[in-house]
Structure 1
Amino acid sequence: MLLTAAHGPAPLFDLGTGQGARQFTELAIALLLSSLIGLERELHQKSAGLRTHTLVGVGSALFMEVSIHGFGAVVGLDGFSVDPSRVAAQIVSGIGFIGGGLIFVRRDAVRGLTTAATIWLTCAVGMSCGGGLPLLGAAATLVHFLVVRGFPLVTRRMATGVPVTQRVELRLCYRTRRGLLGRVLELCTRNGFRVTDVQIDADSQDRTGHGKVKEAGVVLSLEGRGPAHPLVEELTEWEGILGVGLRSQGDSTE
């Protein structure tokens, strides 16, 4: 309930006491800007998309509106002081829980950092709109698109001609008891790749009635600066190799 010293409690649906056209416009701008950021994440199939970013932006804007206009009931009363910045500080602290839930580590590769950062930025955009600074919010939204979509183009151009470390998964199905696995590891090392992980694919094993494994599958995680396709070409010609597959192992932080 809002309260002014001269007029007493304000009507519940009074459009002139912190819930008028200006405040609705600020929420609408927060909705638009946060939706643009969320749509970009959604189109690139990130873990937090349109709905999450929109709710974070609008929610942050609403918290700011409440912080600025929602404590009129205690303004002017003895023994009470209102500090709108306290709510803003709690918004920044609380958004960390959502961002932290988007970050995970898989095989030493950190994922979700960029999406968590966009959640944090969307929160700031919503706060700026709710705080009466929509131009700053719009500028921050433009910065988001510049950083997330423009910077990769610049880095790729700068990295032209510079070898980039690749992470790939090499999947093999081969006949056992021929020493093939050791020869495969030697081939990978000879071609400049470092083997970071070896996993036996138990589902591809075929056991005979004598309990002896005749076929086996293995997944090799490799790191190197050269192309991995020559490995596939050579392995397909080896006797005892039944199948070869190659998959890029992305290490993007998005």
Structure 2
Amino acid sequence: MQDPWTIDTFHITLRLVLALLLGGVIGFERERSSRAAGLRTHILVCLGSTLVMLLSMYGFADFARLDNVRLDPARLAAQVISGIGFLGAGTILYTGKSITGLTTAASLWVVAAMGLAIGAGFYYAAGLACFFALISLFVLNLVEKRYMHHRKVRSLKLEAADIPSLLGRVTQLLGSKGCDIQKLSVEEAPVDADEAARILITLSVRLSKGAKVSEMIEELLRLEGVRSVSLD
């Protein structure tokens, strides 16, 4: 009967290579999306958690043979789950109007769990988790962009001359395009002493289904006094 506290070099290599491949697959998807944590980060997280799991299960084999020593392979693994939160938090950015990086932070947490599963020898579970994670990150992302992205609140900014009735014409144009204005603010733009007064108009809008953003921006630019338009 094989000693449960020992492992050969073949299986160590197999588990680390599998961690590199599965972590790299998810990292590649994040890299393609230009996220803060990309290919190398996901590979390193998966490799590191796999190594910690191998160490937790097999790194103390000499102590396992002592009568007064009891080993708990889950202790080091629990520290990985706790510690990955610090790395994930580093990928979350708050820009003042929105929070980005939550999906990447979640993918790092999943990759860490995959590494622990690979280190423990649960190859099927790690592979299936990788498959489902890719569905969530890639396939569902395409679905979200196609069917739900237009309903998200977007930030529309206009720089324009300070002329009467401009704000009314802007809101009327957006209303005709089916846009739902959630929030609106107007402030004076900094100008030189010899320049005419300008204002900055910021609107939080929910675009209508099938809205043609390029055409809407062109029509806004054609309004008298509007100098620039940007949509985040």
Same fold (TM over 0.5): yes
Residues 43 and 231 of structure 1, relative CA distance in 2, 3 Å threshold:
closer
TM-score normalised per structure 2? 0.80
Q: Does 1:93 align with 2:82?
A: yes
The one-character-per-residue Cα deviations of 1:56-110 (angstroms, maximum 9, x if unpaired) are 0000000011001111232233442110011111111111111122223334423
Structure 1 vs Structure 2 CA RMSD: 3.0
The one-character-per-residue Cα deviations of 1:132-152 (angstroms, maximum 9, x if unpaired) are 122221222111221211223
Structure 2: 5+ residue runs without aligned partners? none
The one-character-per-residue Cα deviations of 1:207-244 (angstroms, maximum 9, x if unpaired) are 22xxxx61325151321233355654444344333x13
Which 10-residue stretch deviates more, 53-62 or 78-87?
Answer: 78-87
The one-character-per-residue Cα deviations of 1:151-180 (angstroms, maximum 9, x if unpaired) are 2344567x4xx894243443333223x235
| Residue number in structure 2 paired with 1:239 | 224
**Aligned 8 A contact 1:18 1:65 in 2:** no
| Residue number in structure 2 paired with 1:170 | 156
Residues 163 and 45 of structure 1, relative CA distance in 2, 3 Å threshold:
closer
Q: Does 1:71 align with 2:67?
A: no
- Matches of 1:25 and 1:45, distance apart in 2: 30
Moved over 6 A (4+): none
**Aligned 8 A contact 1:27 1:62 in 2:** yes
Greater helix content: 2
**Aligned 8 A contact 1:185 1:195 in 2:** no
Structure (1 or 2) with the larger CA radius of gyration: 1
Residues 214 and 154 of structure 1, relative CA distance in 2, 3 Å threshold:
closer
- Matches of 2:159 and 2:173, distance apart in 1: 16
Structure 1: 5+ residue runs without aligned partners? 5-15, 250-254
| Residue number in structure 2 paired with 1:109 | 98
TM-score normalised per structure 1? 0.74
- Matches of 1:98 and 1:79, distance apart in 2: 37
Residue correspondence of structure 1 range 207-222 to structure 2 within 5 A: 207-208=193-194, 214-222=196-204
Residue identity over aligned pairs, in percent, reads 30
Q: 2:172 aligns with which of 173, 183, 187?
A: 187
Q: 2:22 aligns with which of 30, 33, 36?
A: 33
Shift of 1:40: 1.2
Number of residues of Structure 1 aligned to a counterpart in Structure 2: 224
